[in-house]
Structure 1
Amino acid sequence: MAAVTSVMRAQQLLLSRIEAVLKPHGLTFAAYEALRLLAFTRTGTLPMGKMGTRLMVHPASVTNVIGRLERRGLVGRAPSPDDRRVVLATITPAGRDLAEEATVALNEAGFGIAALPAERAAEITAALRAVRVSVGELSDE
């Protein structure tokens, strides 16, 4: 249980720092994740249901985040031309720019990980990946 407690405490500390870095950009971590997810896609568009699955959040959370981003002109929403029951979210150029700015800021923050030797950071990443595989979040490929 000590390892679980340590991981959870580290998660709380990192999330707090991430939120502080994103705040000047007007983003929460959830909003940043949504923008990044859309920016990573080939077309910049995903069904909102698929976003919820990939972000591992409830569909209502995706709807709320996308609604806030849409009001700021960072994403758009429209029915799928193939299936009108499906709502697509699409990142705008302003959304791409903001996602990139926020990513630069997050990378510059380092979060204490940058102070670790590269081998140690790789070990931590591998250990956490193994945990994620064991609980079924990732495949072991």
Structure 2
Amino acid sequence: MASRSPLPVDPIAEARRQWIAHGWADAAEGVSVVTSIMRAHQLVLAEVDEALRPHGLSFARYEMLRLLAFTREGRMPMASATARLQVHAASVTNVVRRLEADGLLRREPHPHDGRAAMLELTDAGRRLTEDATATLNETVFSRVDLDADELTALVGAIARMRERAGDFRPPRPTPDPL
């Protein structure tokens, strides 16, 4: 992440200290975890926004394009995109409208469900997605300032939090081949 002028004291550590001083020691670690995650989110989102700005994309717009680019044919039902992006349908509709207006995707009637829509990536959308992905890989994703063990531990801890919160079900174990 980009370097900034560091604060003279860690406000999250200070909040933890204050929680303990005010008699809330049982919640002190929790406040540290929650505020640490929220601050890390702010820092990472700023990095991503900076990387995507030259491409004219927000992270929400990039996620939609990348999701479509990952499919075999560059298309999927809008309801599937909404479920996979884990955002409200109105947010997806807003993103889709903007991407459609920019010529980066098309919205078409679903071939089997008259109430549903299919989203399809345009050639311009595919080119922009690949360019933006290259930028993110180079400037953000490959430069997370943690070593391999720290990355693995962090992803594992957050995945456990998400799973316990009901965000996803773990995959079923598959039997070993005979």
Bucket of the pairwise TM-score, normalised by the shorter protein: over 0.9
Q: 8, 28, 32: which one pairs with 1:2?
A: 32
Shift of 1:28: 0.5
1:92 aligned to 2:110? no
Match of 1:16 in 2: 46
Q: How many residues align?
A: 141
Q: 117, 123, 135: which one pairs with 1:105?
A: 135
TM-score norm. by structure 1 comes to: 0.92
1:32-111 equivalences under 5 Å are 32-110=62-140
When Rg is computed on C-alpha atoms for both structures, the one with the higher figure is 2
Q: What residue identity is the alignment partner of 1:59?
A: A
Task: Give unmatched runs, 5+ long, in structure 1.
Answer: none
Higher RCO (CA < 8 A, seq sep 6+): 1
Q: RMSD of the alignment, in Å?
A: 1.5
CA distance in 2, matches of 1:65, 1:110: 23
Q: 120, 125, 138: which one pairs with 2:150?
A: 120
- Does structure 2 retain, via aligned residues, the 8 Å contact 1:52–1:62? yes
Question: What is the aligned-residue identity percentage?
Answer: 47
CA distance in 2, matches of 1:111, 1:54: 20
Q: What residue identity is the alignment partner of 2:125?
A: G
Secondary structure in 2 aligned to 1:81? coil
